[in-house]
Structures are given as C-alpha cells and as structure tokens.
Amino acid sequence: MVFARRVILVLVLAWMSVWGAPRAALALDAPASAAASVRFWNIPKALEALEEEADALRRQLEELPVLEDSLQIDAYGYHSSYLPKADRLPDEPRWTITFEIPHSGGVQEIYLVPAADRREPNMPGYGFPKRFQIKGVGLEGEERVLVDYREEDFPDPGRLPVRLLIETRRYRSISLEVYRGQVEDNKEFFALDEVALRASFYLHSIRNVSTSGSFEAPPFWSSAYLLDQKTSMGLPVQPHPEGRQYDQDFVKRFDGVVSEPIVIELDLGENRRNGELVLYPAQPPEGVFVPGYGFPGKLKVDIFRDVPRSGERKHLFDGAPQVLQNPGNNIIRFILGGREGRWLRLTFDDFPVYQGLSTFGFGEIELTEARESMSKGAVVSSPSLPESDHEVLQRLTDGLSGGRRVIPLLPWLDGLSARRDLQGELDRIEQTMDRMTGRWNRGVELSLSIAIWGGTAALLLVVGAGAFLQRRRFADLRGRIAKDLHDEVGSNLGSVRLVAERLQQDASGPEAQRDLSDLVLMAREASASLMDVVWMTDKRSLKMSELIPNLKKRAERVLSGVELEVNIDVESPDLVVPLAVRRQLMLFFKEAVHNCARHSGSKRVRLDIVLSGSSFRMELSDDGCGFDPSALRDGWGIDSMRERVEELDGTFILNTEIGKGTTVGFSVPLKGLLRIYRSGYQSSN
C-alpha cells in the first residue's frame, strides 16, 4: 500500500515537471527559458503563434540582401598583433585603431565588417572583437564614449556587418579600443575586414589610420586594408529571380592594345544631385570568374549642368585623373559631393589585356544620393565607340550587375546588418519551438505512462493489505543484505587496502608511489562508502545524534595518517534528518573529505560540527597547499557541493589561498534540513 502511494507520488511529480510552470532560475539559455515558461496545455497554441512569427521573419529575410563570397584573393583586412591570453579584463585597451576623419566631418553610423576565416571551406567569421568600446574626439578635443561593450561579450556576427548608431556630431577622429579578442593556442588577437564611417548620405573617404599593434603580412593582412573598399562580402546586389546572366554586363574587346582613352557619358535627363559614383566590375560573358575583369586603371570625372533658360551646357566639375586599383569582386566608390548636374562624362584609360585583347567592361555605373540610385535608366553614349555599341552601352545603367539586381551601398549594408539581427531572432524562435515540441512529446509519453502505472497502482492499493504482512520479512531481508555486504565485500576491500599499504611501503619510484597512494585512497573511500551504504540501508529513520558520529568515522577512515581534530557542539541530537537531506549531507561531506585527502597534502585537519537552535554548520579545515578558486579543475566537485548546499537554502563556505590551506563547509538553517528534495547532482569521483 505504501509502495503504491509512492508510485503515484513519483508519477505526479514527474508529470508536474513537464506539465506545470517552469522551475525557477536555473541557468537556462533564452530558448530553454522561453520553452519552459509555457504551461503544458498551452504548448500547441504557443507553437502555432511561434510558427506564424517564424514565417513572418522568413518573409522579411527573403526581402533582404544575401551575402555572397567575393572570391577575394588578397587584402583580407586588418589583423592585430598576438598577445598572451589575459585571465581578466584589463583596465586599459590591448589594441587601439584610430581613424582620422577628413575635414572633421560628421559621423552618424559606424560599420564593422568581420573578416573571413579562409582556412575553413565555408569561410566563417574570424577574429571579431569580444569586448571593446568606440570613442570619438570632438572639434574641441573632448573625448566621448560612443559605443561600450566592455561589460559583456559582443554577439558573434559571423560574416555579416555590424551597424552601430552613435551620437551625431562632428569628430576629428574615431578610435576603436579592444579589451578582449579571440583566443587560439592561448594567444589573443582580433581581426576586421573593413571599417566604414557614415556621414549623412555617404561613407567617409578615410585616408589615415593608425594602430597600436598590427600583424602586417601583405598582400593578405595590413592596417591599410581597413580602408581599401575591398571586403569579403562581395558586390551589393540581390540575386535575380531568373539566376545569374553573365552575358548581361557591358564588355568590349579590342584587337591589340588600346592607346586612346574611352569616353562614356551618362544623361540623367535632368539636373540631379550626384552624391557618389559607384563602379561595378564586369563578369566575363563566358561565366569564368576573373577578378576585376576589364576594369580600367585610370578615370577622370566631369559633371555638366543643364541651364534651362539658355539651353547652355555648363561645365560644373572638372575632376582630377584618378588611378584605379583592381577591385576584384568589389565596387569602387568616389564621392562627388552632391553636385547637381545632368551629364556625367567618364574618361577611362589604361585597359587590361587578356590573351592579346584589350578589354573594357563594367557591370554597372551607378550614381547615388540619399540612399537612392540617380542613374538607373540613364541614357548612355560614347563618342569613342561605334554606333553599333549604343544598345549594349545601356547595360551600364540597367540596374543589373552580373545578372543580379544592384542595391545602393547604404541600404545594402543596412539590409545585411538587419539580416544578422533577424536571423538571430529566427534561430532563437526555432530553438524554442524544438524545446517546446520536446516538452509536448515527453508529456504525451508521460501521460500514457501515468495511465498505465496509475492502473497498476490502483491494483496495488487493493492488494496492499497483504503487503503489510510482508514488512517484517522485508526488514529481516534488509538486515541480511547489510550483513552480507559488510562480511563479504567489506572484508575484501579491507584486504585490498592492507595489501596496497604494504606495497606502498616497499615500492620505489615517484610514479609507483603516486599510483599506490591513489589505490590506498580509493580503497579507503570505497570501504567508507560501503559502510555508509550498509548503515543507511539498515536505517528506516535517522537522528542527528547518529548522523554526526558517522561523519566523524568517514573522516577518520579516509584521512588515515593525518592528525585529525574533531570539535562537536550539538544542541538538538534528537532531530530527525529526512533521507533526501541525509543523502545531500553525506555526499557533500564525502566530496570535501575526498578533496582534502587527494589534493591538499595536509598534515593536520580540523572538523567542526555545530548544531544550534537555528542552524547546522560544518567546516573541514586543513593546513595543506590551498588553491586558486578562479582556476578550479574538473573533478573537484566544487560546483556540485555549492549546489547541494543551495538546495538546502544554506550558505556554501570556501576559504582558500595558495600555500595557506583550505576551509570548506556550509551553514544550513534547520528549516532546510526538514524539507524533502529530489536531486540529480553527481559526485565527481
């Protein structure tokens, strides 16, 4: 009858663990906590709501740009110098990067582009700083902290850019101060692909950067690559619904070497603001990737304004010739300053030669202002090319590059940053759904088990009266088992211990001595544990007056050869200790004595046990080697000991210092000793 009631109690408690509200404040991650916070009967409805939310996020992600690998073969970005791993967060930054802002311009946003780990086939993010802050120096020399991530690790962004909004002001310089980087082979470092500072409608053309520590390894890593406009993110494009179309870029091949410049002119149809000129490299029509295919080496920009009353074409801007670098699979940008003009004349020179043919090509020529394209659909002409090329020239402003839709740079960067946030939220929702589905499945299985076991328990209640007559026989059997364990296994363990101790006296060599010491200690602990099992098996109830002497005996058995001082002050020896609490106390004490015997190397140990009217306190102190609590090793069971004490509403005691011994123990209120607990904690040995 008692057994049947216990079966029902266990099943009900198990059912409530799945069906009821979450257990409070264990160290759960966000998806696990969210999944546990839903009542069991509300799980289907919650799953439906989460699925709708996930679908909405997926639809938003479909509208956002997708990161494409740039097949970049050089200029990976900036890599810091290597420093020894720091055990704690330093007071001063370990690395600093400072950007001088041209003309002390205004800054509204900062973009940090992660580097790519090219050692892995899928190129994950590499070296993004964990703890950092960003400072700005104003026009009067005053410093401001603009972004502060020193209190917690910054979430890993993977390969997607990080967009940081800051207080909009004019700054002389912006500094990135890194306090903690990534760790490999016990060395700390960080890396970035590119850093960009946004003014009102365009990115600053930063020319000067200084670093406190850089790993310079051109053509792959250099502080100069932070500003070279080359990134591992590829082109700012969106995949075309019909896939890539390599033959849709403008590509012109010439027999021999072209010695004269080629002029391309864009007619915007009316005067428009020209904020930024963006050049997209072409893709060979054969579909084989060639970095910067057909990209010229020189460019001169002229802007002409339409004067409506006179019909005059006024020369508004006469730009200086610019030397162009091969962009690989990246865009090249030029700030035009927002000048209003109708015609844009671009004069190109110095064309690359492939297989004896001079080649000139672009995927797109784009003018942007205020996050919008000003040039899409503009009429393109060229006095340098034959009339037969007029139709194919229009590909330069068709809004496509490599058959993919062109996106202005700032909306593209913002879209990738938003993708990072939305993808993170979608991942959390999907993890929550997985955990919630698991709870539901376990609950259904448990319900079936309860139905089966509940019927069994009811049957046991009917026939339980007969079980009452067997109690005495069970008690006798329990006594015989305890006696057999003591006589057979106990005597064998005692023999093992005696033989090991004799071998320890005869053995030579430090390794043999250590092995035999471990064998002796394990034999002592096994013998002590067996005595505890025999003792607890033979007891239906236990008083404090019986528990405390047993703790003392265990210490004497395991700490053999150590000077042991025991101080006991017990006011309420008749206090009954529940089985679950008894187990927690015994396992805590076992772990403490085990650590003292195995790790402390002590000669004197003191055991203090005090039971007052309101609390139960136990401390085990040794004069051994001590240790650094912040450098605990696995197997010492300190976390397990702390959790056992906290489950009894007590206070865990740990005082230690290298070379000055260790004190470990607890102080538990008496009300904590009178509660019933279930625990899954495991001892380390």
Q: Would residue 73 count as lying in a domain?
A: no
**Per-residue confidence band for 639, with pLDDT thresholds at 50, 70 and 90:** confident
Please give the full DSSP string across 600-629, using - where no structure is assigned: I--SEEEEEEEE-SSEEEEEEEE-S----G
H-helix or E-strand containing 228?
none
Same domain (yes/no): 301, 218: no
Q: Per-residue pLDDT for 537 more than 60?
A: no
| 363 DSSP 8-state letter | S
Residue pair 670/656 in contact by the 8 Å Cβ criterion: no
Same domain (yes/no): 241, 361: yes
Q: Quick one: tokens of 24?
A: 């409070």
| 534 DSSP 8-state letter | H
pLDDT, residue 398, reads 92
352-389 tens-digit pLDDT: 998 888 999 999 999 998 788 999 999 999 999 999 99
Same domain (yes/no): 561, 599: yes
Instruction: Report d(CA 414, CA 397) in Å as an integer.
Output: 23
**Per-residue confidence band for 283, with pLDDT thresholds at 50, 70 and 90:** confident
Peptide bond into 102 cis (omega under 30): no
Residue pair 468/11 in contact by the 8 Å Cβ criterion: no
Q: Per-residue pLDDT for 489 more than 50?
A: no
Name the residue range of residue 313's domain: 237-406
Long-range contacts formed by 1-8: CB under 8 A, 24+ apart: 1/460, 1/461, 1/464, 1/465, 1/467, 1/468, 2/464, 2/467, 3/460, 3/464, 3/467, 4/457, 4/458, 4/460, 4/461, 4/464, 5/457, 5/461, 7/453, 7/456, 7/457, 7/460, 8/454, 8/457
Same domain (yes/no): 94, 223: yes
Q: Would residue 413 count as lying in a domain?
A: no
pLDDT, residue 520, reads 58
Q: Per-residue pLDDT for 680 more than 50?
A: no
Q: Would residue 503 count as lying in a domain?
A: yes
Q: Give the range among 298-307, 343-352, 370-379 with minimum mean pLDDT.
A: 370-379
Instruction: Report d(CA 27, CA 309) in Å as an integer.
Output: 74
Same domain (yes/no): 267, 398: yes
Instruction: Report d(CA 611, CA 544) in Å as an integer.
Output: 9
pLDDT, residue 113, reads 94
- For position 557, which CATH number holds? 3.30.565.10
Q: Give the range among 92-101, 444-453, 463-472, 655-664 with minimum mean pLDDT.
A: 463-472
Same domain (yes/no): 268, 402: yes
Residue 197 Cα distances to 9, 48, 441, 510, 570, angstroms: 64, 42, 50, 63, 71
Last-in-domain residue among 540, 570, 592:
540
Last-in-domain residue among 209, 227, 245:
227
pLDDT, residue 531, reads 55
Q: Would residue 71 count as lying in a domain?
A: no
Q: Per-residue pLDDT for 555 more than 90?
A: no
Number of domain units in the chain: 5
Same domain (yes/no): 253, 105: no
Q: Give the range among 29-43, 105-119, 147-161 with minimum mean pLDDT.
A: 29-43
| 72 DSSP 8-state letter | -
Q: Per-residue pLDDT for 679 more than 60?
A: no
pLDDT, residue 495, reads 47
Instruction: Report d(CA 337, CA 322) in Å as an integer.
Output: 16
Instruction: Please compute the mean of the pLDDT values over residues 323-349 and round it to a whole number.
Output: 91
Same domain (yes/no): 52, 201: no
pLDDT, residue 536, reads 54
- For position 99, which CATH number holds? 2.60.120.260
Same domain (yes/no): 178, 209: yes
Same domain (yes/no): 628, 512: no
- What is the distance, to the nearest Å, from the Cα of residue 420 to the centroid of all Cα atoms in its chain? 13
Instruction: Please compute the mean of the pLDDT values over residues 317-329 and round it to a whole number.
Output: 88
Q: What is the average pLDDT score of the chain?
A: 81
Instruction: Please compute the mean of the pLDDT values over residues 472-491 and round it to a whole number.
Output: 48
Instruction: Please compute the mean of the pLDDT values over residues 545-559 and round it to a whole number.
Output: 84
More confident residue, 559 or 265: 265
Q: Per-residue pLDDT for 9 more than 90?
A: no
**Per-residue confidence band for 627, with pLDDT thresholds at 50, 70 and 90:** confident
Instruction: Report d(CA 114, CA 118) in Å as an integer.
Output: 12
Q: Per-residue pLDDT for 247 more than 80?
A: no
pLDDT, residue 525, reads 57
**Per-residue confidence band for 509, with pLDDT thresholds at 50, 70 and 90:** low
More confident residue, 663 or 11: 663
**Do strands 187-189 and 83-84 pair parallel, antiparallel, or not at all (unpaired)?**
antiparallel
Same domain (yes/no): 195, 270: no
Question: Residue 108, CB half-sphere, CA atoms under 13 Å: how many?
Answer: 7
| 559 DSSP 8-state letter | T
pLDDT, residue 370, reads 77
- Give the residue carrying structure tokens 């020189």: 298
**Per-residue confidence band for 510, with pLDDT thresholds at 50, 70 and 90:** low
Q: Would residue 232 count as lying in a domain?
A: no
Q: Would residue 414 count as lying in a domain?
A: no
Q: Would residue 453 count as lying in a domain?
A: yes
- At 30, the amino acid letter reads A
Q: Per-residue pLDDT for 192 more than 90?
A: yes
More confident residue, 450 or 650: 650
**Per-residue confidence band for 678, with pLDDT thresholds at 50, 70 and 90:** very low
Instruction: Report d(CA 34, CA 428) in Å as an integer.
Output: 10
Same domain (yes/no): 195, 91: yes
Residue pair 621/663 in contact by the 8 Å Cβ criterion: yes
**Per-residue confidence band for 681, with pLDDT thresholds at 50, 70 and 90:** very low
Please give the full DSSP string across 19-42, using - where no structure is assigned: HSPPPTT-S--HHHHHHHTS-GGG
Q: Per-residue pLDDT for 96 more than 90?
A: yes
What does the CA dihedral 520, 521, 527, 530 come to, rounded to 10 degrees? Answer: -140
Q: Give the range among 245-254, 279-288, 436-445, 625-634 with minimum mean pLDDT.
A: 625-634
pLDDT, residue 119, reads 85
Q: Would residue 683 count as lying in a domain?
A: yes
Last-in-domain residue among 227, 247, 272:
227
Q: Per-residue pLDDT for 502 more than 70?
A: no
More confident residue, 94 or 34: 94
* pTM (2 d.p.): 0.59
- Of all residues in the chain, the percent with pLDDT exceeding 70 is 79
Residues constituting the chain: 685
**Per-residue confidence band for 248, with pLDDT thresholds at 50, 70 and 90:** confident
